Structure 1
Amino acid sequence: MEIKTGILYATVDGHTLKICNRLKEVLIQNNQKVELFSIDDFKEDITSYDKLIIGASIRYGVHNKKIIEFINTNKKQLDSIKTAFFSVNLVARKLEKSTPVLNPYVIKFFKNIDWKPMIVEVFAGKLNYKKYPFFDRVMIQFIMWMTKGPTNTNTEIEYTNWDKVTAFGLQIKNL
C-alpha cells in the first residue's frame, strides 16, 4: 500500500518552502507519495492523507495566522491521522534554542493551540537582509542586535542544518 503524505506550509521569504522541498525529496526517495501545498492553496480532505506535515516560519515572534487557524479548525481531522510540525526561525541558530523543548517560539505555539503532532522539530532559517523590505530589515536588524546576531545589511547566512532536515524526513517516513 502506498503511503500518501501531504506537506502544508506557510512562508514569508521562501525558506520554509525550501525546507519542505527537501522533506519531499527524502520522502519520495523512500517510496512515499507526497503532495506539497501552500496554506493559501490547500483545499484537500485532510483524512485522505496518511500523514500530514505542517511547517511554518516565524515573523515578529509569531507563526503564520492561517496555519494557526487551520490547526484550530481542523484539529479533529488532524488527530485522526499521523502528523508532524516544524517551525523555522532565526533564534534556532543558537544551539540552546535549536530543539522544540528549548525554542521559545515552539513552546509559545503549543501553549496557544490544542494540538499535539506526533513529531515536532525546529530549524534555523535564513537571514538575508537584502531581500527584506525596509521596515522588516530594520526590525530584524534590531532583533539580531538584541540577540547578538549579525546586523550588517549585506549579510546573507543560511543557518539551516540540512542533515537535521533529512533526519526529520526519515523520522516522518517511519511514522
Structure 2
Amino acid sequence: MNNTLLLYSTTDGHTIKIIERMAARLKQQAFDVQMMPIAQATQAQIARADKIVVGASVRYGKHKKEVNQFIDTYIASLNSKPSAFFSVNVVARKAEKNTSETNPYLQKFLSKIEWQPALLGVFGGMLAYPEYGLVDKTMIRLIMKMTDGPTDPDTVIDYTDWEKVDKFADKVAALSL
C-alpha cells in the first residue's frame, strides 16, 4: 500500500508547493509517490494507486470545476481506496476556520459531492497581491477589507502551517482500508 497518487488543482501554484511538501515527507517513509495536476490523471493511474490524495485551492469561494468533474468521473475508485482531500484557502488563516469541520468552503464542497475521503484537511493559502492581475487584485483586496485581512497591494503572506502539512502527510501514510 505504498503507491500514492497526489493530485492537485491550483489557481496560483501554492497547492503544488503543499503537494510537493507532502510528497517529500511520504518519500522519506518509503512511499512511491506520483504527483500531477488533477486534469491529467488517467483511469490507469488511478487504478494503480493504493492511495489517492487530492488537494484543491479555492478562489472566490469555490474549488475549480475540474475537481468536481474528477470526482464525478472517478467516484467508484475514490470510495474504494484509502483517500484524502485537502482544501487550500486564505479564509483558513483564521483559527476559527482552519479545520475540516469549521472551514465554510470545505463544508460547502463536501455537501455537494458523493466522495467520502477517509482524511480531510484545510490549509491556509498564500496571499500575493503583486502576482495577481488587476481584477483579481481588486476583488481579493475588497474581500480582505470585508474580512479584516491585509489590503496593502504589496502584501505577500504565506498562511500555510507547514507543520500541519507534515502531520497531514503522516496521516496519509497511515491510511488503510
Name the TM tier (shorter chain). over 0.9
TM-score normalised to structure 1 length? 0.97
Partner of 2:11: 12
Tell me how many residue pairs correspond in the alignment. Answer: 174
Equivalence map 1:97-108=2 (5 Å): 97-108=97-108
SS in 1 for 2:102: coil
1:92-142 CA-partner distances (Å, limit 9, x unpaired): 000000001000000000011111100000000010000001100001001
Structure 1 stretches of 5 or more lacking a match? none
Partner of 1:153: 153
Partner of 2:132: 132
Write the letter of the residue equivalent to 2:137.
R
1:56-112 CA-partner distances (Å, limit 9, x unpaired): 000111001101110012111111111000000000000000001000000000011
Cα distance, 1:30 vs structure 2: 0.4
Write the letter of the residue equivalent to 2:8.
Y
Q: Is the 8 A contact 1:47 1:80 kept in 2?
A: no
Equivalence map 1:13-162=2 (5 Å): 13-45=12-44, 46-162=46-162
Q: Is the 8 A contact 2:38 2:66 kept in 1?
A: yes
Cα distance in 2 for partners of 1:22, 1:52 equals: 16
Partner of 1:171: 171
Cα distance in 2 for partners of 1:59, 1:97 equals: 16
The alignment-based identity, stated in percent, is 44
Cα distance, 1:23 vs structure 2: 0.3
- Measured on the aligned residues, the alpha-carbon RMSD in Å equals 0.8
Cα distance in 2 for partners of 1:47, 1:96 equals: 37
Cα distance in 1 for partners of 2:4, 2:150 equals: 37
Write the letter of the residue equivalent to 1:137.
K
Q: Is the 8 A contact 2:4 2:34 kept in 1?
A: yes
SS in 1 for 2:40: coil
Q: Whose helix proportion is higher, 1 or 2? A: 2
SS in 1 for 2:164: helix
Flag as ranges the 4+ runs of structure 1 deviating above 2 A.
Answer: none
Cα distance in 2 for partners of 1:145, 1:95 equals: 18
